[in-house]
Structure 1
Amino acid sequence: MKNTFRILLLSLFFVGCQQKIQPTDIVKINGYWEIEKVVFDKGEDKDYKMNESYDYFEIANNKGIRKKVKPQLNGTFLVNDTDEKVNVRFDKDKVYLDYGTDYAKWSEELIALSDKELVLKNTENKEYHYKKTGPINLTGDGEKTK
């Protein structure tokens, strides 16, 4: 009985500590995000040590785009003309990013958002953990990157 009570109390603690994302927090999504790991629905993780591409978000007034970009060693990014339209949707206590292209539509739940962390969960219950990142400049020429 004691163990049941402890588990219940611990569960309530974690539910109570879950971040509530406010409309004013959405601006934190803007910028470059590098995936760190994927947590699958059965609890196993897949870590990403190095990424060839980042996700770039640009959202204003709950509408915007997400684009895949490839960082270059001189601090620039390779970018193509393909992007996904993004709409931010607030539904009860949850926040969703609704995506759309000419070929598909899908949604991800916004689980966590801070200046340095972004966690999204898709319909297959996979959690994508991102860290905020920026340009890479290994040329050592001292020039500022864009």
Structure 2
Amino acid sequence: MKNIFVIMVFSLLFAGCKQEIKPADIAKLNGYWEIEKVVFDKGEEKEYKMNETFDFFQIKNNKGIRTKVMPQFDETFLTTDTFENVSVRFAGEHVFLDYKTKYTKWSEEIISLSDDKLVVKNPQKIEYHYKKTGPVNLMNDGEKTK
């Protein structure tokens, strides 16, 4: 019985641990992010081995844009004219990315954010796990492309 109590206390402790995201952390969003996996509300996962597009965030003073970009052979990115306006919203212990286009708007909660990892959750409780990325050498020879 004592072991069950200890396990329950530790379980609650770990479940209650959520990264506190501070205003200074928002600068970590800037740059290129590649999706690694999606975790659905029932626990199923979909892994992404390779992506044709990355998400590019450019945020300053809690406002900015997110756009899709495609890596090119010369280690540059091809961009489109489509983007979402993004604003960062702090609501108590939660931090949200509020997106807006001329057609719709939606929000995602930032679950965790570090220099190289990002996890966001949408209202349908679907989590998107990203890793920070940069120029890609598609030649796969270990050398910089010219």
Question: Residue 83 of structure 1 aligns with which residue?
Answer: 83
Question: Which runs of structure 2 are paired with 1:26-65 in the superposition (5 Å)?
Answer: 26-65=26-65
Give the TM-score of the pair, scaled to structure 1.
0.91
Deviation at residue 142 of structure 1 after TM alignment: 5.2
Question: Residue 18 of structure 2 aligns with which residue?
Answer: 18
**What secondary structure, in the 3-state scheme, does the structure 2 residue paired with 1:21 have?**
coil
For the Cα contact (< 8 Å) 2:73–2:145, is it kept in 1? Answer: no
Q: Distance in 2 between matches of 1:123 and 1:65?
A: 20
**Percentage of pairs with the same residue:** 63
Deviation at residue 141 of structure 1 after TM alignment: 5.8
For the Cα contact (< 8 Å) 2:75–2:137, is it kept in 1? Answer: yes
Deviation at residue 136 of structure 1 after TM alignment: 1.1
Q: Distance in 2 between matches of 1:132 and 1:98?
A: 20
For the Cα contact (< 8 Å) 2:74–2:145, is it kept in 1? Answer: no
Give the TM-score of the pair, scaled to structure 2.
0.91
Residue deviations 1:16-48 (CA, integer Å, cap 9, x gap): 432100000000000000000000101111100
Question: Which runs of structure 2 are paired with 1:114-133 in the superposition (5 Å)?
Answer: 114-133=114-133
Structure 1 residues 135 and 93: CA distance shift in structure 2, 3 A: same
Deviation at residue 73 of structure 1 after TM alignment: 1.8
Amino acid at match of 2:124: E
Q: Distance in 2 between matches of 1:49 and 1:35?
A: 9
For the Cα contact (< 8 Å) 2:36–2:130, is it kept in 1? Answer: yes
| CA RMSD, 1 decimal | 1.6
Deviation at residue 61 of structure 1 after TM alignment: 0.3
Q: Distance in 2 between matches of 1:42 and 1:142?
A: 43
Deviation at residue 3 of structure 1 after TM alignment: 5.6
Unaligned runs of 5+ residues in structure 1 are none
**What secondary structure, in the 3-state scheme, does the structure 2 residue paired with 1:131 have?**
strand
Amino acid at match of 1:103: Y
Residue deviations 1:55-96 (CA, integer Å, cap 9, x gap): 000000000000000111210111011110000000010000
Amino acid at match of 2:135: P
